[in-house]
């Protein structure tokens, strides 16, 4: 194991053991009079669920790295133990699991003190657990929890030697829109190996938003794996410090859809036509369709970096048309808000001209956890003047 790699791995293990020392100290007075190792694990999972999950994720991360290393070199490198086996080696755990400690604890056990300690610790831990839950849910709300077939193509585009830092920025921003194991593992790999500082930091902060607790590597520890001296010098001195800021406007998105490889590989099972005032119901619908393996287009998730309401223009219409053309079917979320929307009318009429399936679902049904789609009655929305109405609305986009 190389010096830098060994240092990072050993640092991770020390952090885990240090964390458990503090947590075991906190839950030691909550143990029943007669307890087992399973009781210790149960208490850690209850009062420190995200911390326990972080160890499981770290184990999975190093297991995947070992699997890859073994396929290349024939043997593993890290051999990290699963969470429960690793806990067996923890000094604080070994201390409270010793027969002498158990005898003293049992002899001095007081049920009322134990219950009081439970209440006190939970009053401290519950707000923190809830804050982390909210943080994770907020991060997930900006993604789709599904793995579209084109994910592998996006990752493949990123990994090409010919892909420059600018194009990698566009690809990485696309990948941030999906929450699944494949994408999270990709961001962990970037955080570990990406030489470019900007890209590595994007990966780091994205993982942090889901509470994955990655470690941001310093630039001086980044390794360049090439024997070509000229390329090595370029990667270390120029590529490592390149920086690009995406122009966040509809015109830029229109250009990328027409020319960017990260956009050309994408297609959608459904385009969701809706009012932004019904975003809560739409989010629930998206989660339902994601659970069925369906990938949908929703402007405030998929194109939130570009389609700002104060930047609505002719390019916005063009982008919407291109997204509709890349969709296999359309779902109209019917509500008092959406039936009045000029933009929904535009999307419905344009998609009808593509001669593809259009479905409708009432917002009230979504609110009641009913997600049955029905074919729409075209007479409810057909309007030959729909393009002119939308153009008139480009100065202030309707909800």
Q: Which long-range CB contacts under 8 A does 45-54 form with residues at least 24 apart?
A: 47/23, 47/121, 47/122, 47/125, 48/23, 48/125, 49/129, 50/129, 50/132, 50/211, 51/19, 51/23, 52/83, 54/211, 54/212, 54/213
Q: Which of 174, 194, 289, 347 is catalytic?
A: 347
Cα of 12 vs its chain's centroid, Å: 22
Cα of 300 vs its chain's centroid, Å: 16
Q: How far is the C-alpha of 100 from the C-alpha of 371, rounded, in Å?
A: 59
The residue whose two tokens read 């109405």 is 389
Cα of 155 vs its chain's centroid, Å: 15
Can you spell out the DSSP letters for 194-221?
Answer: --SHHHHHHHHHHHHHTT----PPPGGG
Please state, as a whole number, how many other Cβ atoms lie within 10 Å of the Cβ of residue 332. 24
Q: How far is the C-alpha of 128 from the C-alpha of 120, rounded, in Å?
A: 14
- Whether the CB-CB separation of 40 and 19 falls below 8 Å is answered with no
Can you spell out the DSSP letters for 99-143?
Answer: HHHHHHHHHT--HHHHHHHHHHHHHHHHHHHHHHHHHHHHHHHTS
Give 3-state DSSP helix, strand, coil % of the chain, rounded to 5. Answer: 65, 5, 30
- Whether the CB-CB separation of 47 and 86 falls below 8 Å is answered with no
Q: What is the DSSP letter of 54?
A: H
Can you spell out the DSSP letters for 268-288?
Answer: EEEEEE--GGGHHHHHHHHHH
Over the Cα atoms of the chain, what is R_g? Answer: 26
Q: Has 347 been annotated as catalytic?
A: yes
Beta sheet of 296-297, edge-to-edge order: 296-297, 268-273, 327-334, 358-362, 374-375
H or E stretch at 333? strand 327-334
Residues labelled catalytic: 347
């Amino acid at each position: 194991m190389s010096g830098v790699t060994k240092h990072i791995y050993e640092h991770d293990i020390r952090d885990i053991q240090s964390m458990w020392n503090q947590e075991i100290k906190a839950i030691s007075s909550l143990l029943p009079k007669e307890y087992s190792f399973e009781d210790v694990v149960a208490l850690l999972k209850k009062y420190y669920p995200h911390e326990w999950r972080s160890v499981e994720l770290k184990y999975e991360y190093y297991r995947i790295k070992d699997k890859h290393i073994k396929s290349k070199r024939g043997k593993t490198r890290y051999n990290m133990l699963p969470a429960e086996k690793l806990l067996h080696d923890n000094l604080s755990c070994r201390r409270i699991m010793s027969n002498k400690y158990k005898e003293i604890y049992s002899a001095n056990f007081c049920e009322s003190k134990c219950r009081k300690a439970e209440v006190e610790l939970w009053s401290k831990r519950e707000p923190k657990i809830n804050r982390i839950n909210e943080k994770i849910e907020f991060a997930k709300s900006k993604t789709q929890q599904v793995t579209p077939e084109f994910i592998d193509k996006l990752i493949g585009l990123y990994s090409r030697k010919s892909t420059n830092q600018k194009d990698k920025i566009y690809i990485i921003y696309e990948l941030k829109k999906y929450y699944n194991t494949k994408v999270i593992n990709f961001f962990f790999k970037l955080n570990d190996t990406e030489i470019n500082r900007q890209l590595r930091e994007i990966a780091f902060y994205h993982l942090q938003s889901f509470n994955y607790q990655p470690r941001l590597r310093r630039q001086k520890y980044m390794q360049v794996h090439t024997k070509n001296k000229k390329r090595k010098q370029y990667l270390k001195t120029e590529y490592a410090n390149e920086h690009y800021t995406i122009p966040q406007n509809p015109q830029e998105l229109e250009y990328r859809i027409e020319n960017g490889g990260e956009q050309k590989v994408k297609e959608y099972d459904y385009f969701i036509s809706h009012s932004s005032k019904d975003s809560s119901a739409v989010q629930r619908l998206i989660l339902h369709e994601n659970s069925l393996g369906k990938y949908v287009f929703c402007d405030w998730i998929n194109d939130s970096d570009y389609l700002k309401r104060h930047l609505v223009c002719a390019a916005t219409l063009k982008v919407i048309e291109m997204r509709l053309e890349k969709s296999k079917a359309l779902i109209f979320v019917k509500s008092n808000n959406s039936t009045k929307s000029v933009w929904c009318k535009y999307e419905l009429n344009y998609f009808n001209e593509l001669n593809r399936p259009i479905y409708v679902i009432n917002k009230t049904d979504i609110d009641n956890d009913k997600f049955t789609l029905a074919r729409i009655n075209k007479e409810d929305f057909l309007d030959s003047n729909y393009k002119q109405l939308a153009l008139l609305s480009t100065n202030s986009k309707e909800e």
